Amino acid sequence: MAAKTPILVRMQLSCRLGGVALVLAVLCACSPSRRDEAPARATSVSDTTEARSGRERPGALVLGLTPFLEAKDMRSEFAPLARYLESEVHVPVELRLAASYAALSQMMASREVHLAVFSPFAYVRARRENPDMILLATQISDGSPTYAAYIIARNDGSVRDIEGLRGKRFAYVDQRSASGYIYPRAYLRSLGYDPDAFFGPTVLAGNHSRVTDMVLSGEVAAGATNATAFKMARLEKAQGNRLVILAKTGRIPLDAYCASPRLAPDLTGAIRQALLQLSTRSEDGRRVLRGLTAINGFVEVSDDHYEEVRRAERLSHGEPVAP
C-alpha cells in the first residue's frame, strides 16, 4: 500500500496532540447519582416568545440523536444519560432519534429538539445551518477525545488490501458521517485514488451496524465504519470474527453535544456542568456510561476542535488543503 501524504499524517497527529490536554482535563470529573431508566416519551417543542428570545424553560427537554447505530442500540446507550441529565437539571429529558444524519440538523433548526448529539461531520454541517447553536462539550471514549475510522472486509473474501477494492461494491454510512464517508474518501485521495471512480457501485447503508451487516453478508466487498461499530459487530454478530481491518483511515474528534440558543442561559449552563462532572471515575458515572461506546466522561471544547474534520471534508472532495 502506498504511504500516506503529509496532509493526512498531520490531520491524525493534530487530533492526537490536541487530545492529550483534553484527556487530562476530564480526569478530575466526578458524577452525581442516577435514577432508574425510563422509556423515552414523544413530545413537540412549542414556538413561544421565550423560545424566540432565548429564555425558554421547557416542561421537557428533547435530546436528539444522530442514528449512527440501530434504534434499539441508540436508546440503550443514551437512556441512562437522559435520566442522569433530568436528575441534575430537574427537567424531564426525552430522547428523539433522527431519521438521518441530516435530519438532526433540520430538527434543531425547526425547534423539534432542544439538545443534540451530532457525529463530528454532522456537527460541522449543522453548524453552517444553525450558526447560533451552542457547543456544550465533547466526549472522551476509551481515554481519548478522538476515535478510529476503518475500512473493513471479510477475512475469507478475495480482497486483501485497498488496491483489491478497485471496481468492487462498497458501502458508506451516510454523506454526513465522518468515519463512514468523509475520512475514508480523504484517505483514498491521500493514496492517489479518486473515490468517485475507484470503486464499482457504492451504497449508503444509513448506519454503521448496517455497514457491518452488508460486509458480513457479502452484499458489498468492503465498507467504511468506526472502531465502536467494528467492536460491536465482532462481539455480537454471527460470524462477526470474520471482519478484518483493511485500512485505518484516521483519528477523528468525537461527537459534539449541542444546545439550542433559545434555551435560558442558566439552563444551558446547568446542562453543560452536568455533562462535565460526569465521569467513569465514580461508581455512579460508570453505571450511566456503561455502554459499548465506552464514554469515560466529557470535556468542554471550542468549535476549533472540529477544524480537522473540515480539512478532511475538503480533501475528500479533492479540494486544495493548506499545509
C-alpha cell at 155: 477475512
Cα–Cα dist 136/152, whole Å: 33
Beta strand 170-172 with 202-204 is parallel
Would you say residue 296 has pLDDT above 90? yes
The pLDDT of 214-218, averaged and rounded, is 96
* H and E: helices and strands count for the chain: 12, 11
Mean pLDDT of the 182-210 span: 96
- Determine the Cα angle at 178 with ends 176 and 179, to 5°: 130
Residue 10: pLDDT band by 50, 70, 90 thresholds? very low
226 in Cβ contact with 180 (< 8 Å): yes
> What ranges in 160-290 are assigned the alpha helix state H?
183-190, 195-198, 208-217, 227-236, 265-276, 283-288
| Burial classification of residue 59, based on how many CB atoms lie within 10 Å of its CB (0-12 exposed, 13-18 middle, 19 or more buried) | exposed
Mean pLDDT to the nearest integer, 167-176: 96
Provide the pLDDT for residue 9: 39
Q: Tell me the average pLDDT of the chain.
A: 86
Is 42 a residue whose pLDDT tops 70?
Answer: no
Residue 157: its pLDDT value, please?
Answer: 81
In which band, very low, low, confident or very high, does the pLDDT at 225 lie, cut at 50, 70 and 90?
A: very high
CA separation, residue 165 to residues 109, 178, 195 (Å): 39, 20, 11
At 199, list the grid cell: 470503486
Strands 93-97 and 243-253: unpaired
Which pLDDT score, from 0 to 100, does residue 290 have? Answer: 86
- What pTM was estimated for this model as a whole? 0.80
| 3-class secondary structure, 13 | helix
d(CA 263, CA 83): 19
Query: Using 50, 70 and 90 to split pLDDT, how confident is the model at 320?
Result: confident
Strands 256-259 and 115-118, sheet pairing? antiparallel
The answer to whether 140 and 21 are in contact (CB under 8 A) is no
pLDDT at 293: 75
* SS (HEC) of 222-249: EEEEEHHHHHHHHHHCCCHHHEEEEEEE
Tens digit of pLDDT for each residue in 58-77? 999 999 999 988 899 899 98
